[in-house]
Amino acid sequence: MKPNNNTIKLNYGQGCLDLLAGEEAKVVLPQELPPAGSGEVERSLDQAVGRGLEDFAGARSASILVSDITRPAPSHLMLPPLVKRIRELGIRNLFVVFALGTHRRMTAAEEEYLLKDCICLPHGQHDSKGCVPLGWTERGTPVEVLESVASSDLIVATGNIEYHYYAGFSGGAK
């Protein structure tokens, strides 16, 4: 295979990279699935597996965990119907927490990009210095949770499940 001047643009971050491909190169483009239709979040809330939000009527506080900038979860689409349902339960003390895992802290611009029209919601990023110990797993691994989350009456975790190069799949508990 001898190289030629076939240049392929690859999306990377917020820009793109040029890749010089040989004559024999075959480019296979990913096929993205269409987004869920209008009302899908509401339908999911109505048909919860296990306990539904209505089981938490009377709760005073809620933490909503959302993905950080490294994940493609559409938090800005999930939050409005979720927050509406939580407020319909009478819960006014609500806080959105970016679950960073082992990732770096995000910039204010990245927070705004992820929340879009929901940027006015009280929010913050996970900070291991603000965690409280809750105990240990059967294997002796310490369990620590952000204090503001641990003290919430209701904790709702959102996100996505996708292939992860190192861990098999992403989505929180690997």
101-128: pLDDT as tens digits: 788 899 999 999 999 999 999 999 998 8
Instruction: Name the residue among 111, 116, 56 with its Cα closest to residue 86.
Output: 56
Strand order in the sheet with 123-125: 123-125, 93-99, 61-67, 154-157
As a whole number of angstroms, the distance between CA 56 and CA 117 comes to 26
Instruction: Name the residue among 103, 104, 95 with its Cα closest to residue 146.
Output: 95
Q: How many CB atoms lie within 10 A of CB 66?
A: 26
Residue 164 has pLDDT above 90, yes or no: no
Cα–chain center distance at 89: 23
Higher pLDDT: 3 or 143? It is 143
Instruction: Give how far Cα 60 sits from Cα of 14, 140, 163, Å.
Output: 40, 33, 36
Instruction: For 49-87, write each residue's pLDDT tens digit.
Output: 889 999 999 999 999 999 988 887 889 999 999 999 999
**Which of these ranges, 10-14, 87-91, 163-167, has the smallest mean pLDDT?**
163-167
pLDDT at 166: 73
Q: Given 76, 123, 126, 164, which residue is catalytic? A: 164
Task: State yes or no: is 164 an active-site residue.
Answer: yes
pLDDT at 47: 93
pLDDT at 3: 42
pLDDT at 5: 62
Task: State yes or no: is 126 an active-site residue.
Answer: no
pTM: 0.77
Instruction: For 1-47, write each residue's pLDDT tens digit.
Output: 344 467 888 888 788 888 888 778 777 777 777 777 889 999 999 99
For the chain, what's the residue count?
174
Higher pLDDT: 151 or 7? It is 151
What band does 171 get if pLDDT is binned at 50, 70 and 90? low
Q: Average pLDDT for residues 87-101, to the nearest whole number?
A: 92
**Domains identified in the chain and CATH numbers:** 59-169 (3.40.50.11440)
pLDDT at 103: 83
